[in-house]
Structure 1
Amino acid sequence: MVTLMGLLHFHLAGHQAIPLVGNATGMIGDPSGRSTERVALGRDTLAKNVAAIEKQLKRFFERGTQYAARRVVGLETEKLAKIEVARNADWYRDMNILGFLGTVGRYTRVGAMVARDSVKSRLASAQGISFTEFSYQLLQAYDFWYLYHHRNCRVQIGGSDQWGNITAGTELIHKMPRDDTDTGVVSGQATSHEAFGLTIPLLATASGEKFGKSAGNAIWLDERKTSPFDVYQFFVKTSDADVAKFLKMFTLLPLERIAQVMEEHGRAPEKFAAQKLLAEEVTELIHGEAGVLQAKCATQVLFGGRDQKIEQFSASEIADAFANDRRMVDLPRADAVGKQIAELAVLAGACSSKSQATRLARGGGLYWNNTAVPDGKWVPGSDQFIGEGTIGVLRTGKTSYFIIRLK
C-alpha cells in the first residue's frame, strides 16, 4: 500500500499512472527480500489472483480519487488521466526464449546481475538461487523497457527491495534500441533516453517490526480478507511513536492538520485523537465513506454498551458492518428466543458445552451486549436484542466475539 500511495500522488498530480500486474512473472516469483524460493503457482490460481488484484487496483484508485476530492482543495478529478492497469503477459505471450535471449540477454551483463543484493544474499545461502529466479530481474527490466517505449512510461516506482530490478530496467532502456530506426541508441552506451526509478522504504514500526504476510500483520485491500472494521482497528491501535509518520504516509491530510491533531494528542494521549483520525482516514481511503460508517458501527456494537447507544443501529446496518465476517452467526429465531445464555453460547459455537458456558458465566467471563451475565441460566429478553430485536453480541473472555443474528 505504501507504493500505491506513491503512485496515487503521481496520479493526483496529473500524471498517467500505470499499475502493472505480473500475470507472466507471477509464474516465477521475485527473489528480492526472500531467503527461499517462492512456491510456483498453478495457472488457475494465478489467473484468479491476477483478476482479483486488477479489481482491487482499480477500486483503490477510484476510491483514492474520491477520497482526494474531499481533501485536496481545487482538485479537478474530471481532468485526471484514466488509470490503465497493464498485464505483462500481453508482451510476453508471443515471445519465445530465443527471441528473449537474442534481445534482452544480449544487452545484459551477468556480472551486474550477480552483484545485485537480492542475488548475492541467495547465492551465499545454503539453498542458493535457481536460474528461474535469477532471471526475474531481466523480466522486470524488460517490463520497464516495454512500457517506456509503448506507453511512454518514464518512472518506475517500487519498494526499496526493488532497487536492483528497477535499475536493471533503466540500464536496458539506455542500451537496447526499440528497433533499427531508433537512432538515439548506440549499442552498449548511454543514450539521451531518460528513465527514472523511485524506491520507497519498506514500512516498519518505530520498534523495527515489519509489515506483511510473513510478519502476520498484512492489511489487504480486499474487504473479504480485511474488513473495514479490521482496517479501522489495526490503525486505531497504532503506537504514539508511529502515528504521526503514518498520518503523513497513508493520508492526504495537510501537514497543518496533522500537526494540529498531534498537538491535541500530546495534551490528552488517552483520548487517542491522532489514532482515531488515522483509522478514519485510511478506512475511507481504502473502503470509502460507507466503509467508515461500517467500521464505526462494528466498533460500537462490539465494544460499546447501552450507554453508547448501540441499539441505534438497524439490523441492515449491523449486517453490512459484519458482511463476510466470521463473527456473524445466523440462528433460527425459533431455536434461539427464550433460550438460556449457556445454550446460546453452544449454538453460536462460542462454547463446546453448556457446562463450559456456565463456568465462564460464574467466573465473570460471559457477556451479552458487553455486559457480564450472572450465570448460565440467564435468558436475554426481547428488549435485550439490538438491531430491531434481531441481533445479540455474545462475548467470551476479553476478545472472542460472536454476533448472533436471528433469522
Structure 2
Amino acid sequence: MLGKWFRTAHRAPLKWRVTPLTRNLHLGRDLLSELSARQLIADVTRPDDLIQHLQGGSRTIYAGIDPTAKSLHAGHLIPLLCLFHFQLRGHNTLALIGGATALVGDPSGRMTERSLSEKAQIESNTATLMEGIQQFFSRAAEYALHKVPSPTTSAQLQVVNNLDWLKDLNLLDFLRSTGIHFRVNHMLARDSVKTRMSAHNGITFTEFTYQLLQGYDFYELFRTKGCTIQVGGSDQWGNILSGIDLINKAEGDSAGTKERGFALTTPLLTTSQGEKFGKSAGNAVWLDEKLTSYLDFYQFFLRTMDADVERYLKMFTLLPVEEIDSVVREHERQPGHRLAQKLLAEEVTLMIHRKEGLEAARVATNVLFGTDYSELHARDIVKSLVNDPRLVFCTEDELLGIMLPNLAANFGLTSSKSAARQLALGNGLYLNNVPQPDIYFTLERSHLIDGQVAILRAGKDKHLILALH
C-alpha cells in the first residue's frame, strides 16, 4: 500500500485546469483551479480524484496550527485562506490546535531541536489562538460579503485541540494500533527527518515520533468527523502523507485498491529572494494589533517588492484574478505610484482589522509618511497610534510654553538640547510637517492640531507625537 501511495502522490503543476475567474466563486469552476490560479497550491495528491471528490458534495477539510506563540501571524494566512476558499464553496472546515503535539515539537524545517514548551504556556496560547482563528474566519466572512456575491453560508468552522484525544492515549495501545502501520525506513526517508539526521546533533526520539502523532490526528478526524483533506504548509508534506498512509492501512479495503484521504500543501510565506517570514525567522507580522499595530501591519504589505506583489494579491485577497492582472499591468506602467502595493495593503488590512483598523493605518501612515496634515484630527491621530511608542501623552505644563528644541530633547527625539538646536538651524526640526529653524520657537496651544496634538519630526523619518491628556 505504501509503495502504491508514493507512486500516486506527486507535485501538481501550477497550470492545470485553470479556468477564467470572476467575482462569483460559484459558477461552475472547480475549486482547485482557483487555488492554483491564486498560487495557493505547492503540492497536492491525486488532483483528478480530488476534483471529483469535491464535486461529490460537502467535504470536511482541516489545517493544523502550532500553539508555540500566542497569536496568529501573516504566515498563517496562507493555509487559513486556503481553508476559507473551501468554506466559501460550502465545505466544512476544521482548524486543529496542536495542544498535544506542541509539547513534543515538530522537526520540520529545522536544523536544531526545538526547546520543549511549558504546558501552562501552551494552554494559554491554545486559548488565545482559538479566539484568533474564530475571529479570522468571522472577519474573512464579512470581507467576502463585499467581494463575493452570494457566498455559501451553510459551511461550518470548528476549532479543535488534539490534546482532547491524545492526552489519555495509552502508549501500548498506540503502538499496537498505530505504530504497527509505520515502517522506520519510510519514516527516515521523510525530508524533515533526513535534514535533522544530517545535522551534528541528529534528532531525538521525541521529535522523530512527531509524524506519528500528526498522522494519528488526521486518522482521528477522518474517523470521527469524516475529514478527508488536510491542508498545511509545504514543510508538512511528509507529515500529511503519514496520516493518509495510516488512514489507508487502518481503514482501507483488504485489496488496497481504494485510496482514501488527500493532501494539499500551500507555499511558505517568502519573498522573491526566498526570505522567510514568521516566528521562527524572527520577523513575524502578527494579526493581533497589540503585537503588530495597524500601521505596521499595513506597512508590511505596502513595502512588498514589485517581484512579489502580484503573487501576494492573489494569495492574500479575494479580488478576482482578472482584476489583479489589470492592476498589475497598470502598476508596471507606473511603478512609482505603487498602485498594486497600496491595493494589497488596503485589502489585507480591511480583511484582518476591518474598516476601523484600515482607517487607523491610513491616518498613521499620513502622520508618519505624508506631507499634508490639513485634514488630520487629533482624535484620529491618537486612535491610530495607540500602543505605538512614538505617541506620548503629556500635561500642559510639560508641553506648552516650552521651546521646541527643548521638547525634542526632553522626550527623546534628539540626544540633547544642543543637538536639537543644531538640527533646527539646519531646517531639520519639524513641527506638524513645517520646519522650525527658530531655536527659540515656543509651543503654544494654537500650534497644536485641534489644540491637542503636536507632531515633531527630526530629519526625514524620526517622529514624536505629543498629545495632551
Q: Compute the TM-score of the two structures, normalised by the length of structure 2.
A: 0.80
| Partner of residue 367, structure 1 | 430
Decide which of 85, 95, 111 is 1:35's aligned counterpart.
111
Whole-angstrom CA distance in 2 between matches of 1:99 and 1:372: 75
Task: String of CA shifts for 1:352-390, please: whole Å, max 9, x gaps.
Answer: 43223223333443322233321543223323322x221
Q: Compute the TM-score of the two structures, normalised by the length of structure 1.
A: 0.91
Report deviation, 1:281: 0.4
Whole-angstrom CA distance in 2 between matches of 1:6 and 1:132: 30
Change (3 A) 1:329 1:190: farther
Would you say the 8 A contact 1:155–1:196 is kept in 2? Answer: yes
Decide which of 245, 256, 261 is 1:190's aligned counterpart.
256
Equivalent position SS for 1:176: helix
Change (3 A) 1:356 1:48: farther
Equivalent position SS for 1:264: helix
Identity level (%): 47
Would you say the 8 A contact 2:424–2:437 is kept in 1? Answer: yes
Would you say the 8 A contact 1:327–1:401 is kept in 2? Answer: yes
Aligned residues: 393
What is the one-letter code of the residue matched to 1:246?
Y
| Partner of residue 2, structure 1 | 78
Report deviation, 1:40: 1.6
Task: String of CA shifts for 1:69-119, please: whole Å, max 9, x gaps.
Answer: 10012224xx23232111110101221322222222121111111110100
Task: Tell me if 1:24 matches 2:100.
Answer: yes
Would you say the 8 A contact 1:236–1:275 is kept in 2? Answer: yes
Equivalent position SS for 1:19: strand
Alignment of 1:52-71 (within 5 A): 52-71=128-147
Equivalent position SS for 1:5: helix
Alignment of 1:5-404 (within 5 A): 5-76=81-152, 79-177=153-251, 185-186=253-254, 190=256, 192=258, 194-305=260-371, 307-311=372-376, 313-315=377-379, 317-386=380-449, 388-404=450-466
Task: String of CA shifts for 1:194-220, please: whole Å, max 9, x gaps.
Answer: 210101122222233222234443221
Change (3 A) 1:191 1:376: farther
| Partner of residue 13, structure 2 | none
Change (3 A) 1:170 1:399: same
What is the one-letter code of the residue matched to 1:19?
A
Report deviation, 1:314: 4.1
Equivalent position SS for 2:92: coil
Equivalent position SS for 2:186: helix
Runs of 5+ consecutive residues of structure 2 not aligned to the other structure: 1-76
Change (3 A) 1:365 1:97: farther
Task: String of CA shifts for 1:243-267, please: whole Å, max 9, x gaps.
Answer: 1111111110012211221222223
Would you say the 8 A contact 1:220–1:226 is kept in 2? Answer: yes
What is the one-letter code of the residue matched to 1:395?
R
Whole-angstrom CA distance in 2 between matches of 1:333 and 1:137: 61
Whole-angstrom CA distance in 2 between matches of 1:216 and 1:275: 23
Whole-angstrom CA distance in 1 between matches of 2:216 and 2:303: 41
- Does 1 or 2 have the higher relative contact order (CA < 8 Å, sep 6+)? 2
Q: What is the RMSD of the two structures over their aligned residues, measured on CA atoms?
A: 1.9
Whole-angstrom CA distance in 2 between matches of 1:383 and 1:190: 82
What is the one-letter code of the residue matched to 1:285?
M
Equivalent position SS for 1:165: helix
Whole-angstrom CA distance in 2 between matches of 1:122 and 1:380: 62
Whole-angstrom CA distance in 2 between matches of 1:194 and 1:376: 76
Whole-angstrom CA distance in 1 between matches of 2:292 and 2:154: 29
Would you say the 8 A contact 1:175–1:191 is kept in 2? Answer: no
Whole-angstrom CA distance in 1 between matches of 2:434 and 2:114: 48
